[in-house]
Structure 1
Amino acid sequence: MTKILLTDEHVAALCCPEDSAHLEVFDALLKGFYVDLLRSGRKSYRLRYRVKSRLRVVTLGDAQVMTADQARTLVNEVIHQARVGVDTFAPPEAVLGPTLEQFFVEQYLPYVKSYKRSWDTDESMIRTHLVPQLGRLHMSVIKPPDVAVFIEHMKAKKYAMGTCNRALVLLRYGYVLAVRWGVLSADCNPMKHIKNLSDDSRIEHFLTNEQAQSLLFEIKKSDNEMLQWIVLFLLYTGARKREVLESRWSDFDLAQRSWRIPKTKSGKVRHVPLSEHALGVLQAIKARYGHHAFTFVFANEKTGLPYVSIFYSWDTARKRAGLSYLRVHHLRHSFASFLVNAGRSLYEVQEILGHADIRTTSRYAHLSRERLQEAVESVPLVR
């Protein structure tokens, strides 16, 4: 960060390097006071300050029209007002529009509930993250620095990059809807300038055959007898947890070896081919609990309804198997990994998993070290 005493003489002598779009030079005396130099030659006095814990970045005036002393006087006034909770540059209340909390709770959530199966995930993100940090701010005055501070707060609390990115995606979609519905003007969307965080450190977990055997050994000892069939079916189909837990006998055509999933994450019907192993799981359940004993295939024997959660029995088994990091969703990763390592194409994996975008499928395209070794060994010897 470049710091000098901002005077008319010093500012007049400053220029932006040719290899930069702009240059910020801060005042050596007043914190947050700086001149922003553009490659075009334009110079503006600006100020970063906080009012009611909110970061504000405002333009004070053109440095070729306003003197450094005039800008400095205005800075002192703005900072003095901010200390008593008054934001000099806040727009009139009449044009502020809804706060972020009002929009997301009163307009966004009712809308996504009408079509989105995973709306409760959005509700949790809004309640846990967006409202506590940004909820009281009016959407029309939220700027990219406010979003940056929000994300830095999440990172400081050790939330994963994926969680931070989901918050950004939710904010971005909310602003798109607000503009589309006329709640905000297009120039009030700070998310146009915000990109998702780079998540290069993300780790995908895939079960080896040995780990799968160890996990199943412990799961078979679980007090929840149905857990073994649930886990096996997840491994044999690559389906999502709720798709399996909520599956009904009427969804299966055993003669055609097909499973029709009527409610998928994308909202579209999906047909999953069933392997001999997957069919074997269904036959085992029939033999144990009777033919069509319940409407739901993997029903809780006490209620006949799908399990609300299998976490505690799953958590006990995975820890005993030495796989405490493993999530149920990693069984889906493993299924895809098994297919790819068996030589199946990403297109085939995409169809079976029901991905709309091949880029999503590529996340699961883990190749074992043995298969990669086989690939490099296939290059012929050059003499």
Structure 2
Amino acid sequence: MTNQTITAPKGFQAAAVKAGLKHSGALDLGLIVADRPCTAAAVFTTNKIVSAPVVVSREHVRSGKLQAVFVNAGNSNACTGQRGFRDTLAICRQVGRALNIDPHRILVASTGIIGEFLPMEKVRSGIEAALAALRYSPQAGGNLARAILTTDTKKKTAYRKIRLGGKTVQLAGIAKGSGMIAPNMATMLAFITTDADISPALLRRSLSQSAAVTFNKVTVDNHTSTSDTAVVLASGLAGNTRITRQGTDYQKFHQALWQICDDLARQIAADGEGATCAVTVRVTEAANPREAHQAVRAIVDSPLVRCAFFGADPNWGRIVSAIGYSGARFNPDKLTCKVAGVTVFRNGRPTPFNRSQLSRKMKARQWQVHVCLGAGKYEDFCYTCDLSHGYVTINADYHT
């Protein structure tokens, strides 16, 4: 079969094993290893409470070079003090020694329970098993996509292929994220590989801009995690002329990277804990970008609105009242709202619509809410989902 996993771009191996970090006994520890040092860029959580892996990885990626990624699920190694840092550095040393890689060129990402120490005996054994299992195969890439999951119900993958200067360039990504998801990253991990040859500065620019309009536009529960990490490794083995300026090749690459990030972000929203539908909320004609953002956030952060999504209830009153307290300026007599493509409120008044037909549309897996403020030319959006009984059940039972 055609490889469209993170091992598809030239120069990358992956592995995933069962180290015993998840109570379920599922795959929970993995590696991505490049044949040579890669140009690298990463973005991390904005939470002031950050895990040891995030602190260490921020420092390691500062050079713009990485060659390996270690990841585990089931334990986030967050709020674990100095021992957490020692354990993270020990992981880097073990992987580095085995692969003859500088430990400072290894990124560590962990997700799962907060406040518990990593069981390092299991981790060390897991690393040994993962090193032995490294492969360039699609099976290896697919296994890693499963290993990083926690409360997710399905793996999240994306792939793009483009032509740069007559050379084929591949990009592939995997992600996890289902709960503790909010704008400014989420409890999410994303790993992207590419064989493009690109400068560190432009790779950082492309990832930063892509994350701002994809991963940072997702919310499931307005709760920002301690461990969020998104990283891109570029092996440079595609043979394209190195991208060093913002010309045509850069724009093609940036478009493909944005598509990877957007694809993964949409999958995260659709797989929100207990979600039955994914909803894109868009606000247009705001007075300025800040107020467009305020209006979007007021809608997606409202439990009442999100419960109405779950009930397939076209409750425009909850939406327009959220806009009313958002802080965004608008003329109520110009406010318009569409739900699943149906106008339910126009120029400050409700409009006639077939409630049962619209309710059926809202039972689809994906649909949109569009609010027009009529106050300017700016817009913003967010990917979200409904708030169901399932979300409460999962988070009442899941120990974080």
With the length of structure 2 as denominator, give the TM-score of the two structures: 0.23
User: In terms of Rg, which structure is larger?
Assistant: 1
Q: Give 1 or 2: higher strand fraction.
A: 2
Which structure has more relative contact order (CA 8 Å, sep 6+)? It is 2
Q: Give 1 or 2: higher helix fraction.
A: 1
